[in-house]
Structure 1
């Protein structure tokens, strides 16, 4: 039996619990989402879509590059299988980029469709909060937490996004 088009699309999205299988991927997804959301909050002080996009893309890229560089240095210490380790180090950092840029995609789409950058910024930050909650829940469930514990972890993760929204409000 084949999956419906909607189910196939869901599997490919960031919020699908099948998207990232390892704890490391989930941790990096949370990290990337917070970085991207914070960059949106800071970049939105310009209130210009192009400057916001540039701020977020550069910020996520710099964080990704710094993290990957540190991983590459660690991989270079081992002489055996150096090329394989280098490629693996680069590949393992992709959840930071994917999760960090996902709210930006929503921001750009909404800003272009509505012409309201402020609305798009707050919508993107709302998506980041939802993503963080989903990542926290997924991590807890994979750790075989109870539903109540998973809800707690979900709320704690979403609270990170709440702090970013608080930053945004303080900046304006």
Structure 2
């Protein structure tokens, strides 16, 4: 078994194979970036990290809870469906890890939280573009559609960066 490159392990792209995984990863990246942008206005590095992790986890739990209720209401085989539902959607939480790792490493190296957040949000934006492109290509989209999906996903990250600059 060959080892995956560090970038693949960090970004989880190889594990996020299905359309739902990629959708959850895009969602988690946006939620994590927005939480980071707002928490950084009045918090420390530790506060930002905790806020992002708690926020994406709460979003994941809320979505899984809603899905679990729907699965339980469908009749026979509820337990199996319920367990399956609870295992889904984890990329929502995983996607927040890479920008957080960048933030922590940057701030530890430079002691610059404000700049670190901008760098981490730039990583989030780049991830969003890559995730949009990956989703489009895996769905069999043409290059033009893949570029449009890349741009659309990137716009979400740019919107978060604009939110950050507006808050400060």
Please give the TM-score of this superposition, normalised by the length of structure 1. Answer: 0.90
Equivalenced residue count is 168
Structure 1 pair 22/122, CA: closer, same or farther in 2 (3 Å)?
same
**TM-score between the two structures when normalised by the length of structure 2:** 0.92
2:60 pairs with one of 59, 64, 69: 64
Which residue among 31, 35, 39 is the counterpart of 1:43? 39
Task: Output the CA distance in 2 between the equivalents of 1:87 and 1:63.
Answer: 18
Tell me how large the CA RMSD over aligned residues is: 1.6
State whether residues 39 and 51 of structure 2, in contact with CA within 8 Å, keep that contact through their aligned partners in structure 1.
yes
2:103 paired with 1:143: no
Q: Does 1:95 align with 2:96?
A: no
SS of the aligned residue for 2:96 comes to helix
Return 5+ residue gaps in structure 2 as ranges: none
Give the secondary-structure state (helix, strand or coil) at the position aligned to 1:21. coil
| Corresponding position: 1:9 with 2:19 | no
Question: Does residue 125 of the first structure (1) align with residue 133 of the second (2)?
Answer: no
Q: Does 1:158 align with 2:154?
A: yes
What CA distance in whole angstroms lies between the structure 1 residues aligned with 2:34 and 2:18?
A: 24
2:72 to 67, 76, 80: 76
Alpha-carbon separation, structure 2, partners of 1:9 and 1:53: 22
Deviant stretches of 4+, over 3 Å = 7-11
In the TM superposition, what are the counterparts of 1:98-117 in structure 2 within 5 Å?
98-117=94-113
Query: In the TM superposition, what whole-angstrom CA distance separates every residue of 1:36-91 from its partner, at most 9, and x where no partner exists?
Result: 00000000101411211121112111111110110110111133222222221111
